[in-house]
Every structure is written in C-alpha cells, then in structure tokens.
Structure 1
Amino acid sequence: MIKLLLIFTLFQPGDTILTEEKAIELALENNFAIRLEKYNLEIAKNNNTVGNAGMLPTVGLNANGSKTIQDTELEFVNGDSQNRDGAKTTVYNAGASLGWTLFDGFRMFATKDRLEEISQLNEMAFKSQVQNAMSDVLKAFYNTALEQERLALLESTLKLSEERVAISKEKYEVGKASKLEYLQAQVDYNSDQSALVRQKEIIAIQKLQLLQLIGIQEGYDSFELSYTHEKSEYLTDLANIETEAIQQNPFLKQLKSQQEVSLLTIKENESDRLPTLDFNLGYNYSNLSAEAGFLQSNVSSGLTYGLTATMTLFDGLNRTRTIQNAKILSEQSYTAYEQGEAQLRTAVKSGILTLQNAQTLAALEEKNLAVAEENVTIALERYRVGKSNPIEIREAQNNAVDAQIRYIEALNTAKIAEIELLRLTGNLLKE
C-alpha cells in the first residue's frame, strides 16, 4: 500500500535504512523528471491570464525632444526677408495612448478558455509524471529488495556449505569419507562464495540506479531496504478496476484535456471571420520654439479618441486553411484518446492477470518452501551420520534455494504488478 503522508523524515547521508515512504519523499523533492515537468506547469499557470487572452487594454507613453541648428535665408511674398546663421529650433513632444479591443469575434473568450484548459492539461501532465516517477522508484525499490533477498539466501546457503565442509573434513580425518568428498564440499563452498560476491555487485548497481531515480547523487554509500509485501487497499475490487482506471488515469485525463484544447483552437480561428472593433484614446502635448521661420513658438495639447473597425475580406484562403488544420488536429486528438483508452484497458487486464497468477504462485511456492527446507534439514542430518552422499545433500540444498527463489520472485512479481495497477488507476499517490 502506497498511501503517502509527507512527514519529511528524509533519508540523510549515513542512514542505514531506506523505507519506501522515505524513497518516495526524496523522489518528490529531487526527481529530475518531476522537477522538469513542474516548470511546464508553472509556465502554463503564468500564461493563464485575461491579459494574455487579449481582454485588457494596452497603455503606452511616448516622449521625444529634438534640437536643430540651421542657416536660413527667407524671402516673403510681401518683399520682406529674413537671414539667420545658426538659427536654433527646439521641439518637445509627449503623449499617452490607450488601445482596447472591444470586439474580436469572441476570440478573446475562446483564447481564455483555451489557456485555462492548457493549465489543466499541464496539471494532468504533472500528476502523470509524478505517478510515473513514483512507479519507477517503487519498482526499482522492490527489484533491489528482491536482490537483497537473494543475497540473504546466498549467505544462508554459504553457511550450510560451510557446515558441510566441516562435516566432510571431520569424516575424512577419521577415515569415514574420502578426500574426494571433502574436496567436493570445498569446491561447492567456493562456488557459493563466488555467487555471493557476484550478488553483492548486482545489489550495488541496483542501489545506484535506485538513487539515480530518487535524485540523490552522492553521500549515500551504504544502506539497507525496509519493506513489506502487503496488499494495497485500493486493489481489493479487481472487477471494477478497469472502470476506475478509465475514470482516474492521469494520462487519459491529459488526452481528454487535449481534446478540449483542440476544440477551443477551432473557435479561436473561426472568430477571425468576424470584424474587430477597437477603441483608441490618446493625449498629446507639443512645444516648438524657433529662432527663424514663420513661427517662433507653438504649444499645443489635446485629447483624441475614436473607434476603429476592421474586417479582412480575403486573405488568400489562409484563414480557411488554418481552420481546416485545426479541425484535423481535433480529430487527431480524439483518435489519440481512443488509442490511449484501448492501451489502458489492455494494460489493466494484463496487470490483473499478472497479479493474480503471481499471488497464486506465491501461495503454492510458500507451501513448497516448507517442504524443501525440511528436506535440507533431513539431508544434512543423514549426511552427518553417514546415511547420504554429497550429491544428495547438494541436490537438496539446490532444491531449497530454487524453491526460495521462486517464492520471493513470485512475491516481487505480484508487488510490481500491484504498483503498475496503482499507477494505471491513479491511486499511486494518495495524500
């Protein structure tokens, strides 16, 4: 069961125990995929404003000043003349303007709805990424746990082989066994040691991969996993799990949201066929002073306002093309949703089948495990008293190891299938 409570008991460098809750907490804080997707979500939320939709006016200020120096020779119609060298002309202008689109064929409203839907789409994408990251971390966690179980099993097998070596040595020294039997016991013991070394390497690599998924780079050299294989409370009703997945799967919701975005894009493009009406308001101030010319000084200020209506009558059929492409993209989004739903149903059915079979195998192997362990005990005692040979005890030992491996693999397969079903149904993250 993954019922996440963010209590922030984070895994610190030097800690020796890592639980699945701590692994998830660390991943939510440090996983790179989650952090990258969060940026997209923040951008989508920032874009979801009425101003970005074009509903608000634009206000601007402008000012400029210039000075010119000219030599002038002027003759007027009445016969007068004016000659000036280095005559200066100074001009100052300042103004404020406001532009507001009052009507644009309802495009601004469709744009605002589209921005809202894109924000929701990115929320679904973020939740989907969180669940995917959690699923990857938990699967890596339990796969590492499986290798940890294998290591414990090999350590137990090595102890049994060590005991067999001691028994065969004792029997050889008193003349009850041949040197060949003693050497064979040593060979089997060395073989078990090699398997143990290889398994330690496998676990080290698995732990590095787990830390990479969590988002931890260094400072965590040695730790053990603490875990259970308890069944999740969210998978008790397997009969209705497919319906639950269709209703709650974050990725499917993301595809549904994409459908809405494509429909609103069509509305935006269709609004371009209608006229637009803009309101304009401005205030201007001008100050001119000249040492030569007709005017020596001119100061003016005033308010201007008005409405501007525009309508494109023909644009080379580009608007029609844009609308057609938007409709094609809308049909594509519907097809993508149908594909996603079909894939989800198949994944859920496959996951249920895998889970049920793994649970059945685990129950069978658990019964077989007790028999195999008892068989090893009996074989070891028979070997101790000289009633069995090395082949018999080694076979019993191998059978016990195989039974234990099949059992822990069945448990791990069931757990991985459970994690996948929780991801598909959207129940992996429960706050």
Structure 2
Amino acid sequence: MRTTYILLPIFLMVLILPLQGQEEKLTKEEAVKLTLENNFGIVIAKNNVKVAENNKGVLNSGFLPSLTANTGASYDNNDQEATFQDGSVRAIDGAETTRYNASLNLNYTLFDGLGRWYNYKRLKEEYNLSELQARETIETTMLQLFTVYFEVARITENIGVLKDTYENTENRLKRAEYSFEYGQNNKLDVLNAQVDLVNDSINLMNERQALMNTQRDLNVLLNRDLDVNFKVDTTITFTNKIVLEEFLNEGESNNIRMLQAEKNIMINDYNLKAGKSVLLPTIGLTGSYGWNEGNFPATNFLASSASTGFSAGVNLSWNLFNGGTGITQIKNAKILLDSQETLQQQIKQEILRDIANSKGNYENRLQIYRLQEQNVSTAVNNYERSSERYKLGQITSVELRQAQLNLLNAKTSKNLAKYNAKLAELQLLQLTGQLLNIAL
C-alpha cells in the first residue's frame, strides 16, 4: 500500500513538470522594442502619420503652378466647290486639309483670398494631430503590453509559490506515512495529506496552463511566433514620489486628449479662415508656348500656314454672389469651431476627474501592497510555528493545512497587489502624458 502512496506524488509531478526547452529572458525593454517594431496597430498608426506627412508637403499645397502639354492633328477629305469674287468657280473632288498643333500651357494662381495659405497651415496641423493620434495608439498599446506582461510575471511568481506549497505537502505526506508505519498516528493524516497533494498538483497544473495561455497573448501583442517560450522580469520599481508629483502638476497640459483637442481647434480655425477666402477675388497668371501648322486645298486662300510663339495673360475672377453657399459654409465653420472649444472644456473636466481618480486608485493599491507584504511576513511566521507544533503533535494536520493555505493566499494576494499597484501607476502616467518618458 505504501508503494501506491509513493508513486502517486511521483506520477503527479511528471504531469506538472516545467516546460522543456530553453526559455529566453524577455526584458521589459525588449518587449517594448518588439512592440514598437511589430505590433499591427502601431504599424498602421505610423503609416497614417506618413500619409499626413505627404499631405502637408508643398506638392499638395496648391502653391505650385500647373503645366500641361497638348498636341493634336486632324485630316479632312471633302468635295469642295468655291465661288470667288470675280465670279469664277472652282470645284475640287477629294480636297485634303491637314492641321497640326502643339502647346505648353502654364497656369498659376497669384492670389485666392488666402485660401491656399490657410489650407496649407491646416494640413500641417493635421499632420501634428496624426502624430498625436499615433502617440495615443502607442500609449494604449504599451498599457496593453504591460497588462499582459505583468500578468505573465504574476502567474510566474504564483507558480513558484504553488511549487513550494506542493513540496511542503509532499514532505508532510512522507512524514505521515512514516509515522503511520511506526504506529505514531492513524491513517487519517495520510489520507488528508494525499488529498491535499492532489489539490496542490491540480492548482499547479492549472497555473502552468494559464501561464502558457498568457504567454501566447503576449506573443500576439509582440507579433511573433505564438509558441515562443520565455521568462519575464518580475522585478517591480515604482516611480519616485517627487517625480510623480511633478508629472501630476503638468498632467492636464500633457494629456494626449487635451493636446488633440487643441489641434482640432486650430484645424477648425484654419477651416474658417480658408472659407472666408470666397469673399475675395482670385487673380491668376496664364502663359503658353504653341506651334500650329496647316496644309489647305486650292479652294482656300492659303496653301499652308505655320506659327510658333508665346502668349501670356493675367485674369481676375470675383464671385460676387454664389447663391449664399459661401456664406453658409462660413457660418457652419464658426459653429464647428465653437463646438470644438466647448468640447475642449468638457475634455478638460474629464481629464481632471480621471487624473484625480487614477491618483487615488494608485495610492490605495500601493498601500494595499504594503499591507500585503506585512501579511506575508505574518503568514510565514504562523506557518513555521504551526509546522513545528505539528511535528510535536500539538496540532492536527487540518490545522497545519489551514496555516499552509493562509500562507499561499497571502503570497498570491501580495503578487496580485504588487502588479495591480504598478498598473495603476502606469495608468496614471498615461493620463499625465508621461508613459513613454519613464524607465519601467
């Protein structure tokens, strides 16, 4: 019977052996680097910035002239009859006429009521806005990255705690078996230890499975092979309190939503100014260089002709009234600008609320973490004392198991509190616009 008791934990340990194969060490810095390079959302955001950069270039500004080239040829074959001033008549069957032409035409708008100028400035601000939107995508992705990264770290530490629990239970089972063989206790202690060992094995197996699943989640964010095994850095450092206070003082002005709201106001302001250009005239410059040649039948006064030369001109166009469309557009642009300014005030209020809430959450979670650290020290002391008393026969295996579970819960709760506090700090740093400016 004792052989069965010995084989059971050995069999369970085979089931829960650690994953075989070499595991790389994935540091926080390496995870950030891979995410910035490979993450799908960040790649798309960077492409949007490139599009905005192209749009703000001089080639899309309307300040450059347009140059077009035209060429053509025609052929006519007609039966013609011509009566001249002296009364003579001439008839030609199959009279042929050929014409050829080529020209270069230049058009340039000298003044359009400053519409181009404000549109050009608007495109520059749209580029700046696209950079802010890309930064927001990166910040959001970084927060997702560390949420998963710290979850891997938490589960990794939990596995270490569960392994210690398993080993302690295994040792208790061996002690109970020896004591039973020598008649020092009854079979109940052995059975209790066996049940506890199975439960500890199941918990460890489930936690290892959770680790593999979470590692795959992280590999998706890093956009790499899902089956890559790795270890993570479980070291956590918190931002200096003085530095964090400085970030909070500048949080409103550095918040990404507030910066985007400011850019949207500028863009709408330029739209309004560009819309007012319809009230002013447009002055344009035209120029061309052309060549024309023609061959005519005998019924024409000219047998052939050819010409080359330049031409240039200035034109002024003033749309005095276009049915009110321009005025309506200006009014709507003013309303949109006013709406953006109102939205900015709303965003400001929300940011102040979010920062205050996030600061409170961070301080609360950090305090919980400190308390959990104290709780672990108490639980360790309690388990060590209980273990000594169990060896002396002063407490039962059930009481020892309760002390063991208390220690397990205290350690896993401390792990959870530690990473919750760090994530709360990162959320606060994101709101203050500093998430990408600190060492993690």
TM-score by length of 2: 0.90
- The amino acid across from 1:257 in the alignment is K
Offset at residue 336 of structure 1 (A) = 2.5
SS of residue in 2 equivalent to 1:388: coil
Does 1:78 find its partner at 2:83? no
Offset at residue 107 of structure 1 (A) = 1.1
Could you tell me whether the CA contact under 8 Å between 1:272 and 1:319 is conserved in 2?
yes
Matches within 5 A, 1:162-201: 162-201=170-209
Matches within 5 A, 1:65-214: 65-214=73-222
- The amino acid across from 1:198 in the alignment is N
Name the counterpart of 1:255.
261
Name the counterpart of 1:272.
278
- The amino acid across from 2:293 in the alignment is N
Could you tell me whether the CA contact under 8 Å between 2:81 and 2:299 is conserved in 1?
no
Matches of 1:17 and 1:395 in 2, distance apart?
36
Offset at residue 34 of structure 1 (A) = 1.0
Moved more, 27-36 or 56-65: 56-65
Matches of 1:156 and 1:328 in 2, distance apart?
67
SS of residue in 2 equivalent to 1:74: strand
Matches of 2:363 and 2:324 in 1, distance apart?
59
SS of residue in 2 equivalent to 1:236: helix
Matches of 1:292 and 1:385 in 2, distance apart?
135
Q: 1:327 to 1:256 in 2, by over 3 A?
A: same
Name the counterpart of 2:247.
241
TM-score by length of 1: 0.92
Offset at residue 44 of structure 1 (A) = 1.0
Offset at residue 68 of structure 1 (A) = 2.6
Q: 1:292 to 1:162 in 2, by over 3 A?
A: farther
Matches of 1:76 and 1:184 in 2, distance apart?
131
| Per-residue Cα deviation, 1:387-406 (whole angstroms, up to 9, x for no partner) | 21111111101111111122
Matches of 2:341 and 2:188 in 1, distance apart?
73
Q: 1:14 to 1:272 in 2, by over 3 A?
A: farther
Could you tell me whether the CA contact under 8 Å between 1:288 and 1:297 is conserved in 2?
yes
Moved more, 76-85 or 161-170: 76-85
Matches of 1:220 and 1:301 in 2, distance apart?
74
| Per-residue Cα deviation, 1:82-115 (whole angstroms, up to 9, x for no partner) | 3333332211111111111111111111111111
SS of residue in 2 equivalent to 1:313: coil
| Per-residue Cα deviation, 1:358-412 (whole angstroms, up to 9, x for no partner) | 2222222212211211221222222223221111111101111111122112211
Name the counterpart of 2:14.
none
Does 1:230 find its partner at 2:237? yes
Name the counterpart of 2:32.
24
Matches of 1:14 and 1:300 in 2, distance apart?
83
Offset at residue 22 of structure 1 (A) = 0.5
Could you tell me whether the CA contact under 8 Å between 2:98 and 2:296 is conserved in 1?
yes
Offset at residue 321 of structure 1 (A) = 1.6
Could you tell me whether the CA contact under 8 Å between 1:167 and 1:384 is conserved in 2?
no
Moved more, 20-29 or 305-314: 305-314
Name the counterpart of 1:315.
322
The one of 384, 388, 399 equivalent to 2:391 is 384
Alignment gaps of 5+ in structure 2 = 1-20
Q: 1:232 to 1:376 in 2, by over 3 A?
A: same
Matches of 2:328 and 2:88 in 1, distance apart?
67
- The amino acid across from 1:366 in the alignment is E
> What percentage of residue pairs aligned between the two structures are identical?
29
Matches within 5 A, 1:359-370: 359-370=366-377
Offset at residue 15 of structure 1 (A) = 5.1
Does 1:371 find its partner at 2:381? no
| Per-residue Cα deviation, 1:148-190 (whole angstroms, up to 9, x for no partner) | 1112111111111111111221222222222222112111111
Q: 1:143 to 1:236 in 2, by over 3 A?
A: farther
Matches of 1:422 and 1:266 in 2, distance apart?
36
Could you tell me whether the CA contact under 8 Å between 1:19 and 1:227 is conserved in 2?
no
SS of residue in 2 equivalent to 1:54: coil
Moved more, 13-22 or 152-161: 13-22
Name the counterpart of 2:414.
407
- The amino acid across from 1:410 in the alignment is A
Offset at residue 240 of structure 1 (A) = 4.3
Moved over 6 A (4+): none
SS of residue in 2 equivalent to 1:176: coil
Name the counterpart of 1:5.
none
- The amino acid across from 1:330 in the alignment is L
Matches of 1:332 and 1:227 in 2, distance apart?
47
SS of residue in 2 equivalent to 1:387: coil
Q: How many residues align?
A: 417
